[in-house]
Chain A
Amino acid sequence: MNTADEGKNSLSRDQQQARQIARRLITSHRSERAGGDTAARAAAAACDHLYRDLSRWVGPDGCHALFTRALAQARTEYPALEQIQLRARSEPYIDGVGETIMAHGDAPTAEALESMLVRLVELLGRLIGDDMAMKLIERSLAASERGEATSDGRREEA
């Protein structure tokens, strides 16, 4: 059982929902990949995609502020995120993924990034209501599942 799953039973319904949607986001960026480091790269691509999509609604600065807070919260639990940097208005948005995988491995990096995504969903839910936050993220997910994740190629190159 990994760290994220340990407290699963004590998660509230909203937390479970947040985790579920974060995983779906990551999965949607994972399917087309191959190789040993897919989980972490897929999680980073999901973050890039969500940043781009949410920026349309709340602006790149607003979205960056959300991610910054989520990263800070996740870092307290996942030291692997120390090397992760957020680059506002840049592609890719999540930087330092390669270095983190090298230092901590693919699965721990993926788990840490997933945790950051979960914190972001929860934070957005607290700010604008869980129902609306879910709706916005579902929208992003739908776009991602339709194959509109245009930055994935750039993430591969990065």
Chain B
Amino acid sequence: MNSAFFLVLRRMRAPIIGLIVIYAIAVVGLTLVPGITPEGLPAPPLSFFHAFYFISYTATTIGFGEIPNAFSDAQRMWVIICIYLTVVGWSYSVVTLIGLLQDKGFQNTLTTNRFRRRVRLLKEPFYLVCGSGETGALISRNFDRVNQPFVVLEKDELRVQELDLQDFKSDIPALAADARIPDNLLLAGLKHLKCHGVLAVTNDEEANLGIAIAVRLLNPKIPVIARARSPVVMANMASFGTNHIVNPYERFAEHLALAVASPSRFRLIELLTSLPETPIPKPHRPPGGRWILCGYGRFGKALAEHLLPTGITLTIIDPTSAESDQNITGHGTEARTLLQAGIEQASGIIAGTDDDVNNLSIAVTASELKPDLFVVTRQNQTANSPLFDAYGADFNMVPSHIVAQECIAILTTPLLAQFLTRLRDHDEAWSQSLVDRLQNLYDGLTPTVWGIRLNKQEAPAACQALMDGQSFSLRDILRNGMDRSEPLPAIALLLERANHFILLPDEDFKLAAGDQLLLASPLSTRHNLEFSLKNANELAYVLRGEENSGGWLWQTLRRS
């Protein structure tokens, strides 16, 4: 506000002084020129008051006429001069002001100030999303859907404008600024008390690195999640304690290997980490045996590293890499190359180059040669989704989706990571039974995975009830707040009590104050349950069917 105001004052100095001088000349002139009475006799000139009144309405081109009396010819001569003088003065001021408003720098100052004010006024915990590319936009949409406030920093002004045009439920504070500059991070609320985390998901690795280190130094208390592609940058980020590094290539390779080795556990992870309330993805059952890998860059290397231990043998096609099969020429986009690589004996193919058209070409050619082949495609651009959807690969990898899913899963539910690490101790049958329960939870859509702690801030009513000595189990609170005879469709995945973790707690498990729960349920169930746990009257209804009204007087009357 301040800098913009001073900028206006400074730029308007000359026109304002000009206007004052012109008004002074015009008014003083009018008080000197003699007037005339209706009878044609000489009259005294206008007083200062009348002169100022006359000039005020004449200069602004309102023009009430000659007030209070008709003017003498001498006065009219002077007024002619005044009119031209004042119109020039006003035009000059207005043109200067409009020029200032159109000034790029001035507009920037205004938007920056507005952004700063809006960030300062944020009352709820928010996340700072750096970069609004494909990944950032996906994260933004999902945050918006679960009513999670966030702030966006994006270098490209066009993308920020796109963000404004998208129909978000809430109005998102977004600024077109380079997130690598620490000042911009501070402007976006890095040191704001309510800033609960930073997501560095720009397309530029170096920028993500810069953001991560800036957050570590300026506000070490909050977590930073960074996206990285190359192992060097990952190692660098890990060296100064970036809380979470998301490498979509590594992650996808892990998932694919897991899908080969233990499909049910992979399916469980997929269901829990997919974007909430999206259609349930179809199950992937990649076969073992021999695979063809087209493209051996960072993605290909990560895949090879994870797939080889599962017992898969790979034939690598890449014209530039030294580690590929040197007898095979070409990219894999032609039938000849694929036949050379032994597609007849292969059980799967990975189209993993960094070119979407080539990947599609590989996939289509391979399916024509061998229709029952398991095809994995890598989709680099979200814009190509219709093409990949039309082709319908067995498994499609979209880097921006993987990063967004992981960021949201980690940030919104810290307990989920604990749950996922504990999965390793359980066998496939256990995973499969949980997968079946999750799939039946919500018709065709993935559940929302969320956590709640039974403490004063997150669930005040439940916490108070538990401290007052009431005892209730999971089954008691998982009831619909509108009709308590209906159970809520929710699965308690994990319960944490004083750093002890209980996997899949029983329905009869007695809760205690301070417990932290990880639940999977539809979004509406989440709102329903959260409301019951926050509002004492709702909780009394859910637990015991009591219809309390809130008022103190009414309750006292009822008791007496």
Do A and B come together as binding partners?
A: no
B-side interface residues toward A, CB under 8 Å? none
A-side interface residues toward B, CB under 8 Å? none
